[in-house]
């Protein structure tokens, strides 16, 4: 299966999601990211570097929800019954996990529903799960 490899990044300090342009691996520090930002002062796109301690990286799954929205790792889904799931990598494939009292249940993506947020921007969507 050929798919586009891309990432997005959550900046912990600024609480903002960015499109990742480049990932930089530093053996001592971790993963740095150059992300696409915007300068209101200069009225143009700019590149911003985010340090490893300030970043959460999410990989694109290569899949889309029922509305055509790209699905990334750690996205939150809602199915037609109102159940909430989180996109996760599980052994050899992307799957949806549902937190229950007995553990984690994995589901395939097909016909599951729509992306309603992600665990960083919208943690309130996970309350009660």
Helix (H) or strand (E) holding 78: strand 75-78
Among residues 16, 24, 25, 19, the alpha carbon closest in space to that of 6 is found at: 19
Check residue 14 and give its pLDDT.
93
The answer to whether residue 109 scores a pLDDT higher than 90 is no
pLDDT in tens, 58-102: 999 988 898 999 999 999 988 888 888 898 888 788 888 886 655
Cα–chain-centroid distance for residue 119?
8
> How does DSSP classify residue 125?
G
In this predicted structure, what is the pLDDT of residue 59? 95
Q: Is the pLDDT of residue 28 over 70?
A: yes
């Amino acid at each position: 299966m050929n798919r586009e490899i891309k990432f997005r990044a959550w900046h912990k300090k600024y609480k903002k999601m960015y499109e990742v342009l480049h990932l930089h691996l530093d053996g001592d520090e971790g993963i740095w990211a150059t992300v696409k930002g915007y300068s209101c002062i200069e009225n143009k796109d700019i590149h911003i570097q985010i340090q490893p301690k300030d970043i959460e990286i999410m990989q694109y799954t290569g899949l889309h929800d029922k509305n055509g929205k790209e699905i990334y790792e750690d996205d939150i889904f809602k199915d037609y019954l109102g159940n909430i799931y989180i996109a996760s990598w599980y052994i050899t494939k992307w799957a949806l996990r549902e937190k229950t009292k007995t553990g984690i249940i994995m589901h395939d993506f097909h016909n599951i529903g729509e992306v309603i947020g992600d665990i960083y921007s919208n943690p309130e969507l996970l309350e009660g799960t």
